[in-house]
Structure 1
Amino acid sequence: MRRLATVLGVVVLVAGTGLGTTGVLLLRQAEASLTRVPVPELDEAAAPSDARHFLIVGSDSRDGLSDEQRSRLTLGQFEGQRSDTVIYVSISEDRSTVSLVSLPRDLLVIDGGRQRKLTETYAGGPDRLVSVIQQNFGLPVNHYAEISLGGFISVVETLGSVELCLDAPLVDRKSGAEFEAGCQQMDAEEALSFVRSRRGNFGDYERIARQQQFLRATLREMIDAQVLTDVPRLFRLVENVASNVTTDENLGVGEMRAVAQEMRQVVSAGVPMATVPAFPRRIDGADFMVAYRPGAEAMFDRLRQGVPLLDSGDRPDREETPVALISGGRTAAAGTVGSVLQFVGFGVIAAGSGDASLDAGTTTTIYRLPGHEDEAEWVASFLGAPIVDLPATVTAPEAAKVLVAVGDDASL
Structure 2
Amino acid sequence: MLVTRYDDLPLYEPEQKSRQWSDARRKRFRRTMAFLAGGLAVLLVAGFGYVGFTYWHFSSGIHRIGGVVGDSKPGTDQNILLVGNDERPANMTKQQYQELSTTEDDGSINTDTMILLHVPANGSSATLISFPRDSYVAIPGHGHGKLNAAYVYGSTGASGTADQRDAAGMKLLISTIENLTGVTVNHYVKVSLLSFYNIADSLGPVTVCLNHAVNDPYSGANFPAGTQKLDARQALQFVRQRHGLPNGDLDRATRQQYFLSVEAQQVLSAGTLLNPVKLNKVVGAVSSSLEMDDKLDLLSLATQLKGLKSGGVRSATIPLMPDPYGDVPGVGSVVLINHDALPDFMATVTGGKTTAQRVAEAKAADPSSVRVDVLNGAGTAHGSSTGLATFKSLGFQTGSPADAPESQQTTTVYFPKGDEAQAKAVLAHVPGAAVAQSSDYTHVTVVLGTDGKMPVGTSSGSSGSGSGSSGSSSSTSKSSAPAPKPSAPTKNYNKTTCIN
What CA deviation, in whole Å up to 9, does each residue of 1:274-312 have, x standing for no partner? 1112222211141111210122222122344369xxxxx
- 1:39–1:126 Cα contact (<8 Å) kept: no
Change (3 A) 1:32 1:41: closer
What CA deviation, in whole Å up to 9, does each residue of 1:22-65 have, x standing for no partner? x2xx10121110111124444x44x4332111111112111153
1:271 paired residue number: 313
What CA deviation, in whole Å up to 9, does each residue of 1:87-133 have, x standing for no partner? 01111222222111110111112221421211111122211111111
For 1:182 and 1:29, locate their aligned partners in 2 and report how far apart those are by CA, in whole Å. 41
Q: Could you state the TM-score of these two structures normalised by the residue count of structure 1? A: 0.68
- 1:144–1:247 Cα contact (<8 Å) kept: yes
Q: Structure 2: which 5+ residue stretches go unaligned?
A: 1-35, 155-168, 354-407, 410-479, 491-500
Displacement of 1:204: 0.6
- Mean alpha-carbon deviation: is it higher for 222-231 or for 241-250? 222-231
2:280 paired residue number: 235
For 1:155 and 1:243, locate their aligned partners in 2 and report how far apart those are by CA, in whole Å. 9
How do residues 213-252 of structure 1 correspond to structure 2 at under 5 angstroms?
Answer: 213-252=258-297
Name the % identity: 28
Amino acid at match of 2:264: L
Match of 2:136 among 108, 114, 118: 108
2:489 paired residue number: 378
- 1:2–1:152 Cα contact (<8 Å) kept: no
Change (3 A) 1:40 1:155: closer
Match of 1:8 among 24, 29, 43: 43
For 1:33 and 1:364, locate their aligned partners in 2 and report how far apart those are by CA, in whole Å. 45
Structure 2 SS opposite 1:7: helix
Amino acid at match of 1:277: P
What CA deviation, in whole Å up to 9, does each residue of 1:356-404 have, x standing for no partner? xxxxx954779xxxxxxxx97539xxxxxxxxxxxxxxxxxxxxxxxxx
For 1:3 and 1:365, locate their aligned partners in 2 and report how far apart those are by CA, in whole Å. 27
Structure 2 SS opposite 1:146: strand
Amino acid at match of 1:254: L
Match of 2:345 among 299, 304, 308: 299
How do residues 116-131 of structure 1 correspond to structure 2 at under 5 angstroms?
Answer: 116-123=145-152, 124=154, 125-131=169-175
Structure 2 SS opposite 1:288: strand
- 2:78–2:119 Cα contact (<8 Å) kept: yes
1:73 paired residue number: 100
1:36 paired residue number: 64
Displacement of 1:184: 1.6
Amino acid at match of 1:34: I
Change (3 A) 1:376 1:109: closer
**1:152 matched to 2:163:** no
Change (3 A) 1:260 1:222: farther
Structure 1 SS opposite 2:87: coil
1:173 paired residue number: 217
1:342 paired residue number: none
Displacement of 1:240: 0.7
For 2:212 and 2:96, locate their aligned partners in 1 and report how far apart those are by CA, in whole Å. 28
1:408 paired residue number: none
- Mean alpha-carbon deviation: is it higher for 92-101 or for 254-263? 254-263
2:79 paired residue number: 53
Q: Structure 1: which 5+ residue stretches go unaligned?
A: 308-331, 334-360, 367-374, 380-412
- 2:69–2:186 Cα contact (<8 Å) kept: no
For 1:259 and 1:232, locate their aligned partners in 2 and report how far apart those are by CA, in whole Å. 28
Structure 2 SS opposite 1:201: coil
Higher helix share: 1
How large is the Cα RMSD of the aligned pairs?
2.8
**1:253 matched to 2:333:** no
- 2:138–2:180 Cα contact (<8 Å) kept: yes
2:472 paired residue number: none
Change (3 A) 1:3 1:216: closer
For 2:86 and 2:150, locate their aligned partners in 1 and report how far apart those are by CA, in whole Å. 14
Change (3 A) 1:256 1:242: farther
Change (3 A) 1:135 1:158: same
Structure 2 SS opposite 1:56: strand
- Mean alpha-carbon deviation: is it higher for 163-172 or for 115-124? 163-172
Displacement of 1:195: 0.7
Count of residues paired in the alignment: 308
- 2:136–2:147 Cα contact (<8 Å) kept: yes
Displacement of 1:163: 1.3
For 1:243 and 1:258, locate their aligned partners in 2 and report how far apart those are by CA, in whole Å. 22
Change (3 A) 1:103 1:115: same
Q: Could you state the TM-score of these two structures normalised by the residue count of structure 2? A: 0.57
